[in-house]
Each structure stands twice: as C-alpha cells, then as structure tokens.
Amino acid sequence: RTLFGAKPPKGQEFDDHYFGAVPERVLGFMMDTERELFKLGIPAKTRHNEVAPGQFEIAPMFERANIASDHQQLLMTVFKTIAKKHGMECLFHEKPFAGVNGSGKHVNFSVGNAQFGSLLVPGDTPHENAQFLVFCAAIIRAVHKFGGLLRVSVASATNDHRLGA
C-alpha cells in the first residue's frame, strides 16, 4: 500500500515525534489553514503532531453532527488546497504506508458539554442521577439491539489494516 519512496530511517517506535515541536514549515501550513477555516466559520481547537512521523492534526471544535460532517468535507478541501500552496501533499487515507499508523480520519462525538456536564458521571441526588441512568440504559439498549451494526462499523478490513492487522 505504500504510495512511493522508501521506508523511513526511523518509524514510530519512539514518542519523539508525537511529543516534539511542530516543524516550522508545517506550522506555517497549519496557521494558514486555521485562518482559512476561520473565514469559513469552522473553528479549530487544537493542532499537534500525530503518532506517526510526518503526520499532524488540526481538530475542529465540537458542533452538532449535521454541521460537523459538512465542515469535515470543507476542511478536507481546505487542507488539500493550502497544502499545495506550501508544496505539501495532504493524505486522508486510513493507512497509506505499511507498518505506520494512518490518518484514521474520523469524527468524534461528545458525551457531555460545558452546560450539562458529562453523561458518564452519576449525580449526587436521585434527581441529578436520572440523566446518567437514562444515558446508560439507552447505550445498553442500543448495543443490545444494534450490536451487529456497531460491530460492522468498527470491525472492518480497512480498520483492522489501519490498526496493523
């Protein structure tokens, strides 16, 4: 699955890439990207190195699912356009190179927010505990009723390949 080139002299066996500083050239690309995203109304929350060498992440802020999915499509177009201007290539393939983590392109979802707190934390009183109990019951019911759908969405050949299988 490797697109071109040779195996890098160093893989992802150390944490030096993940915990290191973002290279200046990449930071310039990220800052230009963030400015363009801001103009489009897509607020970015964080930027950092990823686990694999040469991989980086910009994470947009939480939004409702329908807006977030539209913004993900715009975001990928902006990334590719600005990468070209910086003489870079932007790949979204889940596993472009054998033996190295892929992008794992995904949309996160939240189980809480600043207004209502976390759905995973029980309340201190029976009334405050109701939200937690309803959430747990809904998750248990959904996993029981739609387990097959859940498994097929996470246990795919491409995801297994991305994870190193």
Tens-place pLDDT, residues 105-142? 666 667 877 777 888 889 899 998 998 999 999 999 99
CA separation for the pair 11, 26 (Å, rounded): 19
Shared domain for 105 and 122, answered yes or no, is: no
Choosing from 109, 126, 149, the residue where a domain stops is 109
What pTM does this model have? Answer: 0.65
- Residue 58 near residue 30 (C-beta atoms within 8 A): yes
- Residue 75 near residue 63 (C-beta atoms within 8 A): no
Q: What is the pLDDT of residue 104?
A: 61
CA separation for the pair 165, 139 (Å, rounded): 29
For residue 106, give the nearest of 32, 144, 54, 163 by alpha carbon. 163
Quick one: average pLDDT of 141-161?
84
Q: What is the pLDDT of residue 119?
A: 85
Q: What is the total count of domains within the chain?
A: 2
- Name the strand (E) or helix (H) holding 44: strand 44-49
Q: For residue 23, how many other CB atoms are within 10 A of its CB? A: 12
- Tell me the residue range of the domain where 66 lies: 1-109
Shared domain for 80 and 143, answered yes or no, is: no
Shared domain for 87 and 140, answered yes or no, is: no
Q: What is the pLDDT of residue 2?
A: 46
Shared domain for 36 and 90, answered yes or no, is: yes
The better pLDDT of the pair 93, 60 is held by 60
Shared domain for 102 and 118, answered yes or no, is: no
Quick one: average pLDDT of 48-72?
84
Quick one: average pLDDT of 148-153?
86
Quick one: average pLDDT of 29-35?
95
Q: CB within 8 A of 116, min separation 6: which ones?
A: 131
Residue 54 has pLDDT above 90, yes or no: no
Shared domain for 90 and 150, answered yes or no, is: no
Quick one: average pLDDT of 68-82?
92
Shared domain for 105 and 136, answered yes or no, is: no
